[in-house]
Amino acid sequence: MILAGNETMTPDLSGSIAAIGRYAPVIFQAMARSHERFIYPSRRELTFEIRLRNKTIEAAQALHRSRAAFATFYYSACNEAYWSLTGEGGFDLKPGRPAAEAIRDIFENGEAYAFECATAMMIVFYKALIDCLPEERFNSIFSHLYLWDWQNHPFFSLKNASRVGTGIPGDVRYFKNPDVNPQTPQWQGENAVDLSGGLYYGHGIGIMTADRIIEELNQYRRQSADTSAYLMPGATRPDYLSLAAFDAGTPSDGIRIAAGSSVYTFSSFA
C-alpha cells in the first residue's frame, strides 16, 4: 500500500510513469500491491524513492559489467588515485578528490578494484544517488566518503524491513548459508540487489535467479550439511525519506499516476 499526501495510490497507473525510468512501473506496482505500508508527506518523496530504486537497479547492472573483482576485506584493492586503502580493507576518499568522480571510477576502471559483497551494495547505492542528485550537492555531502561494509555512512542511513514478502525491486536481500564450510567463510551468505523479474545481482556471483544463487551457495557447505542456503524474509533499504531531503531539484516533466478515482501528476527530477 502507498499513501502519499493522505491519498492511496492504486496499482492502476498511466504509461507515463515510465518517464521516471525503465523499472519505474514495476517498482510502483510492487509497492502498491505489497502488504507493507509506504507513507510519504507528499508525492515528491514517492517519486524520489521510485527514481532512486530504478537507479539502484541500473547501478547494480553496471557494477556487474565493470569487472570489479570479489575479495575478502584482507585482499581488497582500489585505485589509489582516488582512494587510500585502509588496514581493515576499506576505501578512504583522498582529500580533494570529488566523491562522485571516485565512485564512477569503480564502474569505469573496475579491474583496479576488489571488494566484499556488502561494500558492493553501498557502492551501488552511492552510484544510484549520484544519478539522482546534483553532482555538486553529492560531492559536498559526501566529501569524507569511506567505503567499508554497511558501517560508517553517517549521511546515507539504511533501514531494515523484517518481512517484505516478494520484496520491492531495488531492495537488497540476503541469502543465508547456515551450513557454510568453515574453510570458506566468505560464502556464509550473499547480499543481492533485487533487479525485478526474478533476477538478483550479487557481487562475486553475478546476475541470476534466487534458486541459482542458492545452488551456488550450497556448493560451499560443510561436509554432511543438511540445511540448504535460503533467502531471508527481510530487506535492507536506504532511508528514502531522509535522502529525499537532499534533493532540491527543479521539477521537470510530469508523471501521471492514478490514485483512487483521481489522477495525480508527479514531478520527476532531472
270: pLDDT strictly greater than 90: no
Q: Give the start-to-end residue ranges of the domains of the chain.
A: 2-269
How far apart, in whole angstroms, are the C-alpha atoms of residue 54 and residue 190? Answer: 21
Q: What are the tens digits of pLDDT across the range 159-188?
A: 999 999 999 999 999 999 999 999 999 999
How far apart, in whole angstroms, are the C-alpha atoms of residue 200 and residue 217? Answer: 14
Residue at grid coordinates 541500473: 58
Q: What confidence tier does 252 reach under pLDDT thresholds 50, 70, 90?
A: very low
How far apart, in whole angstroms, are the C-alpha atoms of residue 266 and residue 70? Answer: 39
Share of residues in the chain with pLDDT > 70 (%):
90
Q: Which pLDDT does position 193 carry in this prediction?
A: 98
- β pairing state of 206-209 and 114-115: unpaired
Q: What confidence tier does 262 reach under pLDDT thresholds 50, 70, 90?
A: very low
- β pairing state of 38-40 and 2-4: parallel
Q: Which range has the top average pLDDT, 20-29, 55-64, 145-154?
A: 55-64
Task: Provide the mean pLDDT of the chain.
Answer: 89
Considering only 77-91, 125-139, 251-265, which range has the smallest mean pLDDT? 251-265
Residue 54's alpha-carbon distances to 20, 23, 48, 105, 217, in angstroms, are 8, 6, 10, 21, 27
Full DSSP string of 216-252: HHHTTBPTT-----EE-S-EEEE-HHHHHTT--PPEE
Average pLDDT for 104-108: 98
How far apart, in whole angstroms, are the C-alpha atoms of residue 192 and residue 158? Answer: 15
Q: What are the tens digits of pLDDT across the range 185-210?
A: 999 999 999 999 999 999 999 999 99
pTM for this structure?
0.90
Q: Is residue 69 a contact partner of residue 112, using CB atoms and an 8 Å limit?
A: no
